[in-house]
Structure 1
Amino acid sequence: MGLNTHDLMGEQERERRERLETEKRTISFAGNPLDARAAAFARSLIDLADDKMSDGEWLTRSRRRFSLAEQAIRKKSRSGQGGGQGGGGRRSARTTEEIRSAMGFLCEISRAASSRRSTGSGT
């Protein structure tokens, strides 16, 4: 074949980069990994969402209310890390465009499901 060690290492590096890129744009929805750039992404996401929302339990989970005391405790525990105004904390990774689009898509799906449920025309 004529491949040498350098060619093999280059191919392994390319595969590693592709894996990392796929991981960056993959979301986990209902325990299922979905590549936001895959051709069947939207259909897979809709099917999973319909399945998970069919029993109405998702609405109960999404409407959980927190007391003001719980919110204050959560805020304190997050703000108490690292100390000082200089920051020094590590900046979180930016969300990819594919992930932002998927999040918006999920929001639209949940709105549609909520609307269907409230009008009584459920699936």
Structure 2
Amino acid sequence: MAGNLEHAVLRRARAALAEDATDALLNTIADGEAAGSIFSAVSAGGILTTWKEPGRTKLGPDFSCHFVNSVDTAHWAGLHRLGEDIYATGGLDALDEAIMHIVQLAPTRADWRSNVLESVWFDVGRTA
């Protein structure tokens, strides 16, 4: 019984760290010069799309018209990895809770954050 409690506490601490890291990365991206060009593809006319991983074929917006550099690729990979970490701590419920929490950390950017996270984490825990 105590082992289960300790395990749950450790999982929640790991998820909290990933949420904090996601918040920091989103702030970096939003404050950077590429935020407009790269993330405009995330939401096309208010309709959620899937942010395609640079260099891979997945459903989502076409980045061929955008300049995708190693920093942009690193941002995508970092956000995706953090989503996978959160998923590992508690599945899709933990991922949904994390999105709600992270979005609330920056109310003025809530819509943007929600679109980005829903898009980047679209396939986390859902692939075969």
Whether the TM-score (by the shorter chain) exceeds 0.5 is no
TM-score (structure 2 length as normaliser): 0.32
Higher percent of residues as helix: 2
